[in-house]
Amino acid sequence: MGNWECFLVDDGSNDGSEKKCDEWAARDSRITVIHQKNAGVSIARNMGIERANGDYLYFIDSDDWCESSMFESIADNDMIFGDYVLGDMQIGSQIHCSDNYALAYLKDDLRACMGSFVVKRSVVQQYGIQFEPSRKYAEDLSFILRCLLFAKRVNVVNSVFMHYRQVESSAVHTFNLGRFDAYFSRLWLLNTVMPLGNKGVNSFLHHYACIESIVLVTRELFAHGYSVKTVLKFYKDHPVIYITLMRAIQNPVLRKDYVSVAKQLLYCPWIYKARVVCTYKWYDMHALLGKMKQKIFCR
């Protein structure tokens, strides 16, 4: 397919990749380079949306790559989802037909990441959908969800769209307090999509997704060495986290394990951190023993 345009957004690169972008643009008139000061992935993608002229939008990060055949699956749909390869594993959706794709996505039945979907530009334009400029994490979740809420024709295909390369230094593998963006993005989503009347999505965000993000982020921060004092200070600076935890322990439909963690985070966070650290140490030891066993018996 030759009828395409490509925008390479140089978000303040200083490793020579900005020159590579210019070289590619010089070779092919369909490629346009946008140079900007470092402003984050959300603003970079929004810049691409603003400049795009085509019928469909496709986003892919600089360390991933896509299959050229994926564009043959577009047909006449508002959104198209394909499989993606993570390491050596092909990740496919568990659901291919639904009357509520947005809820299926939230429940992880519809598997998606940046690079594994295509969306019609008119849907994004008509409803003013953009990536949240202030978010560095979980910005894809809110964008994809809102697109799904407005998309009338969604198709899920059994073919690989992209290859997701895991780089240890990338943002997704960096653990810091900014990870709480995952929670704030879900909270913002709840307030934003509630008027749309999708009861399944509203209920899932309210009863599950918001508290889940607090639990998962806190667990990862404790596992990566953050102190209870540091995390609790962040909680204190953002009282809405405490409000969500208090609501969680009074929520009769929330999973019991999340209710238990919410109570521990409110009343005995040091015990919860000890549990997290011990669990991760056990996993590390188990992995080490596995490697030793492989070396001994596979000689």
CATH number of the domain within which 84 lies: 3.90.550.10
Does 13 reside within a domain? no
Of 18, 8, 76, the residue nearest 48 (C-alpha): 8
Q: What is the pLDDT of residues 175-199, one digit of tens each?
A: 899 999 999 999 999 988 888 889 9
Lowest model confidence (mean pLDDT) among 100-104, 132-136, 212-216, 249-253: 132-136
pLDDT at position 296 over 70: no
Flag whether 107 is in a domain: yes
Are residues 133 and 154 both part of a single domain?
A: yes
Termini Cα distance of the chain: 50
169: pLDDT strictly greater than 50: no
- Picking from 47, 155, 148, the residue whose alpha carbon sits closest to that of residue 96 is 155
Q: Kindly state whether residues 117 and 134 are assigned to the same domain.
A: yes
Distances (CA, A) of 112 to 40, 138, 170, 177, 188: 21, 12, 19, 25, 20
Of the candidates 118, 129, 138, 162, the residue with the CA atom closest to the CA atom of residue 40: 138
For the stretch 79-133, pLDDT in tens is 999 999 998 899 999 999 999 999 999 999 999 999 999 999 999 999 999 999 8
Asked if the structure places residue 260 within a domain, the reply is yes
Report pTM: 0.85
Instruction: Say if 62 falls within a structural domain.
Output: yes
70 shares a domain with 58: yes
Q: How far is CA 266 from CA 191, 253, 271, in A?
A: 24, 19, 11
Which position has the token pair 């202030």? 134
Q: Which of 199, 113, 197, 106 is nearest to 145 (CA)?
A: 106
Count structural domains, the chain. 2
* End residue of a domain, out of 172, 201, 228: 172
Please give the DSSP secondary-structure letter assigned to residue 7. Answer: E
| Top-confidence range, 189-198, 253-262, 276-285 | 253-262
The reply to whether 12 falls in a domain is no
pLDDT tens-place string over residues 12-32: 888 888 999 999 999 999 999
Residue 158 backbone phi and psi in degrees, to 5:
-95, 60
Question: How far, in Å, CA of 185 to CA of 65, rounded?
Answer: 27
> What percentage of the chain has pLDDT greater than the value 90?
72
pLDDT at 171 over 80: no
- Supply the range of the domain harboring residue 212: 175-294
284 falls in which pLDDT band (50, 70, 90)? low
User: Strands 117-120 and 79-86: what pairing?
Assistant: antiparallel
Q: Is residue 21 part of a domain?
A: no
Residues 6+ apart with CB under 8 A from 16: none
